[in-house]
Chain A
Amino acid sequence: MSKRLFVKGNEAAAMGALEAGCRYYFGYPITPQSDIPEYLSRELPGLGGEFIQAESEVASINMLLGASACGKRAMTSSSSPGISLKQEGISYMAGSELPGVIINISRSGPGLGGIDASQSDYFQSVKGGGHGGYHIPVLAPNSVQEMYDLTMHAFDLADLYRTPVMVLGDSVVGQMKEALVPNPRPQRELPEKDWAVRGKGGGEQRVVKSLFLGDGELEAHNWKLHAKYQVMKEKEVMYETYLADDAELLVTGFGSVSRIAQTAIAMAREEGLKVGLFRPITLFPFPEKALAEAGIRAGRVLVVELNCGQMVEDVRLAVNGKAEVGFYGRPPGAGSLPSPEELLDVIRKSCARI
């Protein structure tokens, strides 16, 4: 086992990217994710990589597009307002089937909002934040270890499916420090990048693009992308459960809030309340089957989010009326993180109504 380090979530993500072989970073400063570019600006030059602080998020996502078109593992990171600016580029990357990793250490909005932890970017992340009806895999770490592991995983998913992949966190997972075991990159068989531009050199012409004007071409392209999303739904779903088997109330939440919920659930169990946790790790593909099963078994689902209600819509679709779905939301703002004690209260009330 490697030595346990003690690092910030943001640094862990940057370390995971390096371990995954990423040598190209393009970004623009924004709180609360600037530790990522700061870390990489120190490390990448020594590794023969490129670090560019671009003039904007628009430029940085397009630098990523360019490096990725050359077949390189590349990434960018930002926070909500900056991610909004990247959406055009993400749409082009999805359309051009380009891999790439985008980390969103999200903050509160809309607009300039604030820098506090928030999960208000759920819709933007999982429903295709830019134009044109695409999806990208979205991974939601809830610990420093997962910031590392899931960032590494994101690079593999990106290459496997030729798609941008988003890691979605907030200032809790980004700013907290925990133990990190910097595991070596898992060995995975990945397709060859035989589409990457390289200068013909006497070979076939290669073109990276998202414009399809021929008769039926764009339709076929959209069906192809759609089919890819179906495969992801079959193969790439990730989730975690905690005391869910005999639960009569299933709490569900992703990322930072799931950690708070876990402690609230442990407290509730001490009071004899049969409560469990279901935590989606992939937000796209959403673990709809597993969640439906566990939710219907429990009969009641309580969705907790740091927003006014977004993932709850996907939970409702998943259980499709076969379990009662309640919602507890905390819109973002300074000092608005719920404590385990507050969530325990909500759990108690939900249980009292059973």
Chain B
Amino acid sequence: MEQVFKRPVSLKDVQTHFCPGCHHGTIHRLVADAMDFHGVQQETIGVASVGCSVFLYGYFDIDVVEAPHGRASAVATGVKRARPDRFVFTYQGDGDLAAIGTAEIIHAANRGEDITVVFVNNTTYGMTGGQMAPTTLVGQKTSTSPYGRDRKKDGSPIKMAELLAQLGGVAYSARVAVDSPKNLIQAKKVMREAFGYQAQGKGFSFVEVLSACPTNWGMTPLKANARVGEEMIPYFQLGIFKQEGNE
């Protein structure tokens, strides 16, 4: 894929630990780019979640608080209330945000906390070895849904971006993907916009990013990248679901 941008200054010049073909690295770049764009690196406090992205302090050149699994939005709430003058974002996986952290994200969003939440949806639990996530597609086999996700017993994959868009406190909610140059350019724009909402004190902003996990999908990086477009996007539609002051 063509290189869409150079290394942002908010990103350290180090090798990441992500598996080949993992989209976390690309999403890190998008977040760093948005910080650079708004010139907020020096005043940003990041909140890391527990998942494959737990080491984000190793890659972002910013201050970071590590939250317990699922609690990043609550931790970010505390940080933002204590330092309203700072720029605060969380970076959370789908297990973290949409399973164990559901209460925290819904209430942070509903209170309209002036934070930005980056939500990485890879339809599985990456770090713990590929268990079923709340976003696992119906029929998808994982290590704890060996016969495929069953809508009747396991429920349907949760569409967080749409769900949060319904809450009063949410100013911005969107879903993007990074599987093609076109989607990547849109993702970059959306990420900048979401961070912009916070920079202007407009309230809670949320970006869901569809992400590949070749390791736990049991696919080559190329195949995994293709799956995002073939299987995920048809269900998790891309778009901006809420954009306050822009309706």
B is bound to A: yes
Q: A31 near B128 (CB under 8 angstroms)? A: yes
**Closest chain B residue, CB of each to CB of A84:** B68
Q: Which residues of A contact B129 (CB under 8 A)?
A: 29, 31, 34
Q: B68 near A29 (CB under 8 angstroms)? A: no
The interface size of chain A toward B, counting residues with CB under 8 Å, comes to 19
**Chain B, interface SS category:** loop
Q: Which residues of B contact A335 (CB under 8 A)?
A: none
Q: Which residues of A contact B50 (CB under 8 A)?
A: 112
Q: Which residues of A contact B66 (CB under 8 A)?
A: 112
**Residue B111 CB within 8 A of the other chain:** no
**Residue A284 CB within 8 A of the other chain:** no
Contact of A55 among B102, B143, B153 (CB under 8 A): B102
**Residue B5 CB within 8 A of the other chain:** no
Q: B95 near A81 (CB under 8 angstroms)? A: no
**Residue B87 CB within 8 A of the other chain:** no
Contact of A29 among B54, B125, B134, B146 (CB under 8 A): B125
B90-128 to A contact mask, C-beta < 8 Å, 1/0 = 000001000110100000000000000000000001011
Q: Which residues of A contact B100 (CB under 8 A)?
A: 28, 55-57
**Residue A42 CB within 8 A of the other chain:** yes
Q: Which residues of B contact A280 (CB under 8 A)?
A: none
Counting contact residues on chain B (CB < 8 A from A), the size range is 20 to 34
The distance from the CB of B124 to the nearest CB of chain A, in whole angstroms, is 10
Contact of B147 among A37, A45, A111 (CB under 8 A): A45
The distance from the CB of A98 to the nearest CB of chain B, in whole angstroms, is 24
**Residue A53 CB within 8 A of the other chain:** yes
**Residue B132 CB within 8 A of the other chain:** yes
Q: Which of A37, A42, A56 has the most CB of B within 10 A?
A: A56
Those of A29-59 within 8 Å (CB) of chain B = 29-31, 34, 37-38, 41-42, 45, 51-53, 55-57
The distance from the CB of B18 to the nearest CB of chain A, in whole angstroms, is 18
Q: Report the bound CA distance from A28 to B99 in whole Å.
A: 10
Q: Which residues of B contact A51 (CB under 8 A)?
A: 144
**Residue B80 CB within 8 A of the other chain:** no
**Residue B21 CB within 8 A of the other chain:** no
**Closest chain A residue, CB of each to CB of B67:** A112
B122-161 to A contact mask, C-beta < 8 Å, 1/0 = 0001011101101000000001111100000110000000
Contact of A56 among B70, B127, B146, B154 (CB under 8 A): B70
**Closest chain B residue, CB of each to CB of A41:** B144
Contact of A34 among B68, B143, B147 (CB under 8 A): B143
Q: Which residues of B contact A31 (CB under 8 A)?
A: 127-129
**Residue B69 CB within 8 A of the other chain:** yes
Q: B69 near A53 (CB under 8 angstroms)? A: no
The distance from the CB of A124 to the nearest CB of chain B, in whole angstroms, is 16
**Closest chain A residue, CB of each to CB of B95:** A29
Q: Which residues of B contact A56 (CB under 8 A)?
A: 70, 99-100
Q: Which residues of A contact B143 (CB under 8 A)?
A: 34, 38, 41
The distance from the CB of B212 to the nearest CB of chain A, in whole angstroms, is 20
The distance from the CB of B142 to the nearest CB of chain A, in whole angstroms, is 9
Q: B128 near A34 (CB under 8 angstroms)? A: yes
Q: A53 near B132 (CB under 8 angstroms)? A: yes
The distance from the CB of B128 to the nearest CB of chain A, in whole angstroms, is 4
CB contact under 8 A between A34 and B99, given known A41-B145, A42-B146? no
Q: Report the bound CA distance from A41 to B153 in whole Å.
A: 12
**Closest chain A residue, CB of each to CB of B143:** A38
Those of B224-240 within 8 Å (CB) of chain A = none
Q: B144 near A29 (CB under 8 angstroms)? A: yes
Q: Which residues of A contact B144 (CB under 8 A)?
A: 29, 34, 37-38, 41, 51, 53
Q: Which residues of B contact A55 (CB under 8 A)?
A: 99-100, 102, 134
Q: Which residues of B contact A111 (CB under 8 A)?
A: 68
The distance from the CB of A194 to the nearest CB of chain B, in whole angstroms, is 31
Q: Report the bound CA distance from A28 to B154 in whole Å.
A: 13
Q: Which residues of B contact A37 (CB under 8 A)?
A: 131, 144
The distance from the CB of A39 to the nearest CB of chain B, in whole angstroms, is 10
**Closest chain B residue, CB of each to CB of A53:** B144
Q: Report the bound CA distance from A34 to B125 in whole Å.
A: 11
Q: Report the bound CA distance from A33 to B146 in whole Å.
A: 17
Q: Report the bound CA distance from A41 to B142 in whole Å.
A: 10
Q: Which residues of A contact B54 (CB under 8 A)?
A: 112
Q: Which residues of A contact B145 (CB under 8 A)?
A: 41, 53
Can you list 23 contacts pairing A with B, beta carbon distance less than 8 Å?
A: A29-B95, A29-B125, A29-B131, A29-B144, A38-B131, A38-B143, A41-B143, A41-B145, A41-B146, A45-B147, A51-B144, A52-B153, A53-B144, A53-B145, A55-B99, A55-B100, A56-B70, A56-B100, A81-B68, A111-B68, A112-B54, A112-B66, A112-B68
**Chain A interface residues (CB < 8 Å from chain B):** 28-31, 34, 37-38, 41-42, 45, 51-53, 55-57, 81, 111-112
Known: A28-B100, A53-B131, A112-B69. 11 other contacts (CB 8 A): A29-B128, A37-B144, A38-B131, A38-B144, A41-B146, A45-B147, A53-B144, A53-B145, A81-B68, A81-B69, A112-B68
A-B residue pairs, 3 tightest by C-beta: A56-B100, A29-B131, A55-B99
